[in-house]
Amino acid sequence: MHRLLLQAISALSVGAVLWANCREKCVDAEELKPACAGLMTSGWGGLPPPNLPFVDCAAVNVPWSALETADQEFDGPGWEKIETARQRGLRLRLRIFCGIHAPDFVKKLGGAALSDPEHGLDSSQTGGVAIWNEFSKRGGATACFWKREVLDQYEQLMAEVARRYDDAPEICEVVNSACMTVFAEPFYRAHRNAGSNLRLWQAGLNLERDREAHQRAMLIHDRLFRKTRTSLAVNPWDIIDDSPSHFRQSWDETRQFVEWARERMGKKLVLQNNGFWLDSQRALEQDPKTSHLAYLRECPGSKGFQPRLSPKSDEEIFDLLDLALRFKANFMEFASFRSCDPERLRKIDQQLQSNPF
């Protein structure tokens, strides 16, 4: 009897292993939803206009605080914005702004409340670390994304997004912005703003914790989203360190992380840069080991750009599009397409979509 019982337990164990292996293979065999490609709106303006029906992709920008109004209460108005875009039948890139756009209950986690009186940024009530961005002349209190409890909240948010949208054909990509501060470019902190970098250092941020946070955020996306791709904006890393300025930049650190993420995610990973401009042309001659734009030019997989500034003319838009094609881009985001010639835009849209990835 004892021997028969052991045999039965052994058979059940083997069956469980085989079932788990089969399940893993079945999951791996699931097809990813198509990536966003061609011309698309960036989320900073409206959805694609009716006179450009071939523009069938769009980014939808939503603050975290507009989705989760209190802990585990996913009832904010941001969901309706997503649903409105879904009704258009577009392929969507969902860009959820974390950092300074996180709910106050998330900002209070980790115990930091560091203000910036110089720029009128008061963190005493919201919690978090005051960040000032010199380029955009704006800022706010960012959540301490490197803290375990903050990433726990981000994981809960992504679990809700995956529950709603991983099977939704319109939501093709979700941006990984877990480690952002002001913009959904998670390798940027505050650039050379000395006060912001000092406050981040005082709140406990360093490269090791920063890297661990990035890795956990990527693993969260990889585990929760089975059919939906993850988009990541890449730049040189603003590293907070113990130097007098508490700041240095490193493309090498970003590149190593991206290589790890590409190895882990495969085709599920979409790479993007949101600082593309006409002066990016110099990267056509640069080494991918020394330039993030040169890296995007040469790396396989879905990739594209968003301009650093708002184009001031139709020709500026076309000049940027021509340059993006030279970088082998698959997509290009704009807030709007002004009064650009539709037929000319159509041809560029086709070229972007025909680039392999």
Decide: 47 and 88 in contact? Cβ < 8 Å: yes
- Tell me the pTM: 0.91
Query: What tokens appear for 264 in the block?
Result: 């882990």
- Express each pLDDT in 145-193 by its tens digit: 999 999 999 999 999 999 999 999 999 999 999 999 999 999 999 999 9
Q: Is 70 exceeded by the pLDDT of residue 8?
A: no
Q: Is 90 exceeded by the pLDDT of residue 28?
A: no
d(CA 252, CA 83): 39
Per-residue confidence (pLDDT) for residue 30, from 0 to 100: 64
Q: Is 275 helix (H, G, I), strand (E, B) or coil?
A: strand
Q: Is 50 exceeded by the pLDDT of residue 11?
A: no
Between the two ends of the chain, the Cα-to-Cα distance in Å is 59
Q: How many CA atoms within 13 Å lie on the side-chain side of 90?
A: 31
Beta strand spans in the chain (E): 38-41, 57-63, 91-97, 113-114, 128-133, 138-142, 171-175, 229-233, 237-239, 248-250, 269-276, 303-307, 331-334
Query: What tokens appear for 216 in the block?
Result: 């956990």
Go through the domains of the chain in sequence order and give each one's CATH number. Answer: 32-99+146-185+206-354 (3.20.20.80)
Q: Is 60 exceeded by the pLDDT of residue 13?
A: no
Residue 279 vs residues 103, 198, 329: alpha-carbon distances, Å: 37, 31, 16
- Express each pLDDT in 296-331 by its tens digit: 999 999 999 999 999 999 999 999 999 999 999 999
